[in-house]
Amino acid sequence: DTGVSQDPRHKITKRGQNVTFRCDPISEHNRLYWYRQTLGQGPEFLTYFQNEAQLEKSRLLSDRFSAERPKGSFSTLEIQRTEQGDSAMYLCASSLSTGPIYFGEGSWLTVV
């Protein structure tokens, strides 16, 4: 399978714990994006990378959130001190420059 893969697919965590999601983009895609989707809503942009450089961050991305793409390949999204409001699906997507954007199946986070 050469699509965008995300891990884990589901995560349940207690409030205050840290969680990390991993995204492996389509091979050779230089752009990688993170989105958040809550039930009944469209996805909202969080941040994106071109190669290893993080080019833009949404104001939705509070200081508890950090994303990295250290070698320009896979990316991680870490949420520190999780809150119940962080419960959502976290989507990763990738593209080759300004080509079509392909999404992974998402990582569901439930904060209890």
Partner 1 sequence: GDSVTQMEGPVTLSEEAFLTINCTYTATGYPSLFWYVQYPGEGLQLLLKATKADDKGSNKGFEATYRKETTSFHLEKGSVQVSDSAVYFCVLSDLVSWGKLQFGAGTQVVVTP
Site for partner 1, rule CB under 8 A = 31, 33, 35, 40-45, 48, 56, 91, 93, 95, 97-98, 100-106
d(CA 87, CA 96): 30
Closer to partner 1 by Cβ: residue 20 or 96: 96
Closer to partner 1 by Cβ: residue 42 or 70: 42
Burial classification of residue 71, based on how many CB atoms lie within 10 Å of its CB (0-12 exposed, 13-18 middle, 19 or more buried): exposed
Closer to partner 1 by Cβ: residue 26 or 80: 26
CB count in 10 Å sphere of residue 31: 19
- In single-letter form, the type of residue at position 36 comes to R
- Cβ at position 34, least distance to partner 1 in Å: 11
Instruction: Collapse the DSSP code of 105 into the 3-class scheme (helix H, G, I; strand E, B; otherwise coil) and give the result.
Output: coil
91: which 2 tokens? 């989507």
Cα 2 → chain centroid:
18
- Cβ at position 106, least distance to partner 1 in Å: 5
- Cβ at position 31, least distance to partner 1 in Å: 6
- Cβ at position 16, least distance to partner 1 in Å: 29
